[in-house]
Amino acid sequence: MVKYRVLVVEDEELKRRTIIDALTDAGYEVRGTGDGTEGFQLIRDEFWDVALLDLKLPGMDGLTILGKAREIRPETTIIVMTAFASVQTAVEAMKAGAYDYLTKPFTTDELLLKLARLFEYMAKAAENVVLKKALDSEYAFRSMVGRSRSMRRLFDQICVIADSDATVLVVGETGTGKELVAETIHYSSPRREGPLVKVSCVALRESLIESELFGHERGAFSGAIRTRPGRFELAAGGTLFLDEVDDVPLAVQPKLLRVLQNREFERVGGEKTLKADVRVVAATKQDIPQLIAQGRFREDLYYRLNTVTLRLPPLRERKDEIPLLVEHFIKKYDRVEGRRFSADTLELLRRYSWPGNIRELEHVVEATLVQTRDPEIEPRHLPRDFMETVALHASPARQALREELAGIERETIVKALAQFKGNISLTAKHLNIARSTLRDRLKKLGIKARAG
């Protein structure tokens, strides 16, 4: 057991001795002093997990000690004690860096409970630091890319909830990475050695979803020729990811609610009650409160699902991260080292609205890398269907962007034609497009070239 060190700086001798005795009996390593100057020297010269600090002291007052201690010993947690403090004094101490405060008179039980909670929190924080480092270097966060405030907040939330069994609802548009979040939660949790079972609720026929989730007994319905375990059984000891949970039929929702409430269920056609040893992570792109208002989703199920809610920002709200994401996907898909997207190309990607979010960006990067071997990716290398989509989605400056894209295309083709002395066949090969496609573009852009 860790033996925490606690310093008691209290000028009232009886109170100091009472605190020291109670903490010693509780297993803490304790030292005390009644002088503020000596108390500061002890904080300065030795390591203490916690310093219990009276605010009114001879030699040096508590707030002065607190201010100096935060500078030279930030690792020491300060809890202030005062009988003179109004709420304002306590707030002043907290602003100066105190972790918490105790107002006299307080019982030793109050103090011991506060310290127990503090050390529990500190242990959890230390675990989270280790976990976060592991996530950054191992499976989970290596695939979740982002430096924005919203993404760092998401990473922090995952660190906090990872080792609980709380049900999580992941909310985000298509392509924002909801499944990746579920994987991250699972592989950074104590259940990581267990299975991660994924269910796309929208992909299952309504007549089969209950059987898929909870299993069925032999003869339960036509075609049930043998007993079959459901996804809740297959995920035992691990995590069950319910994607598009909003698509679960109303008739099945009460049974799903029961599992979340009581952790038990029966197979279809069965009478034996089975235990569900699973952690549920659900995902939706829908506004579930709106579905509730429409009578399409149970309100009580919604409240069971969103014990913890994680919201994924769409890519259009984190466009500054596009270069980082592009770099990530280049490393993921490119076998040639050193290739990169030019500044012009990245700027074009930033100006697109990305309705398909990160999934769409990943597809564009992968397709681009396949279609060219050039070391620097220019706008001309981007897939033609994507460039056409960019023009269609540009608003309100749609026409301006179309003209700009046409200008980029014209300049690229003219340069290539000049390089190959107007030879259409060689130019088309260089641009990685069909000869007939190049002729169409030349005609549309009004560019003349010799046959070849």
In whole angstroms, how far apart are CA 192 and each of 111, 125, 188, 234, 235? 37, 20, 6, 15, 11
In whole angstroms, how far apart are CA 287 and each of 13, 222, 246? 61, 36, 9
pLDDT band at 428 (very low <50, low <70, confident <90, very high): confident
In 3D space, the residue among 334, 270, 307, 327 whose CA is nearest the CA of residue 161 turns out to be 307
Bridge partners of residue 353, in order along the sequence: none
Q: Where do we find the tokens 């989509």? A: 389
Contact status, residue 364 vs residue 330, Cβ threshold 8 Å: no
CA-CA distance, 426 to 409, in Å (whole number)?
17
**Average pLDDT of the segment spanning 128-151:** 52
CATH 1.10.8.60 spans which residues of the chain?
Answer: 316-445
pLDDT at 399: 54
User: Which residue type, as a one-letter code, is found at position 329?
Assistant: F
Residue-wise pLDDT tens digits, 162-210: 888 999 999 999 888 898 899 889 988 889 889 999 998 887 777 788 8
pLDDT at 153: 77
Give me the half-sphere count of Cα atoms (radius 13 Å) on the Cβ side of residue 204: 22
Does pLDDT of 394 surpass 60?
A: no
CATH 3.40.50.2300 spans which residues of the chain?
Answer: 5-125
Residue 230 sits at φ, ψ, to 5 deg, of: -95, -175
CATH 3.40.50.300 spans which residues of the chain?
Answer: 143-311
User: Which residue type, as a one-letter code, is found at position 171?
Assistant: V
CA-CA distance, 131 to 190, in Å (whole number)?
11
Task: Compute how many other C-beta atoms are within 10 angstroms of the C-beta atom of residue 128.
Answer: 17
Contact status, residue 8 vs residue 19, Cβ threshold 8 Å: yes
For residues 440 and 271, the model is more confident at 271
Does pLDDT of 86 surpass 70?
A: no
User: Which residue type, as a one-letter code, is found at position 155?
Assistant: F
Q: Where do we find the tokens 């409430």? A: 261
pLDDT band at 405 (very low <50, low <70, confident <90, very high): low
pLDDT at 126: 55
Tokens of 357: 């979010």
Residues with Cβ within 8 Å of residue 14, at least 6 apart in sequence = none
CA-CA distance, 450 to 443, in Å (whole number)?
13
In 3D space, the residue among 47, 48, 82, 45 whose CA is nearest the CA of residue 62 turns out to be 82
Residue-wise pLDDT tens digits, 33-57: 999 999 999 998 888 889 999 888 8
pLDDT band at 382 (very low <50, low <70, confident <90, very high): very high
**Average pLDDT of the segment spanning 319-330:** 87
- At 309, is the secondary structure helix, strand, or coil? strand
**Average pLDDT of the segment spanning 270-287:** 91
Give me the half-sphere count of Cα atoms (radius 13 Å) on the Cβ side of residue 17: 3
Does pLDDT of 137 surpass 50?
A: no
Task: Compute how many other C-beta atoms are within 10 angstroms of the C-beta atom of residue 409.
Answer: 19
Contact status, residue 26 vs residue 112, Cβ threshold 8 Å: yes
Tokens of 107: 């019982």
Tokens of 234: 């297959």
Category of 273 on φ-ψ map: left (φ > 0), alpha (ψ -120 to 50) or beta: beta
pLDDT at 140: 43
CATH superfamily of 5-125: Response regulator (3.40.50.2300)
Residue-wise pLDDT tens digits, 239-254: 999 999 998 989 899 9
Provide CATH code, domain 143-311.
3.40.50.300
Q: Which helix (H) or strand (E) holds 29?
A: strand 29-33
Does pLDDT of 341 surpass 50?
A: yes
Tokens of 321: 């991260």
Q: Where do we find the tokens 């990475």? A: 177
CA-CA distance, 250 to 253, in Å (whole number)?
5
In 3D space, the residue among 304, 312, 311, 261 whose CA is nearest the CA of residue 167 turns out to be 304
CA-CA distance, 278 to 320, in Å (whole number)?
37
* Secondary-structure class of domain 316-445 per CATH: mainly alpha
pLDDT at 413: 84
pLDDT at 133: 47
pLDDT at 392: 67
Tokens of 447: 């560019």
Helix axes 322-333, 343-350, angle to 10 degrees: 120
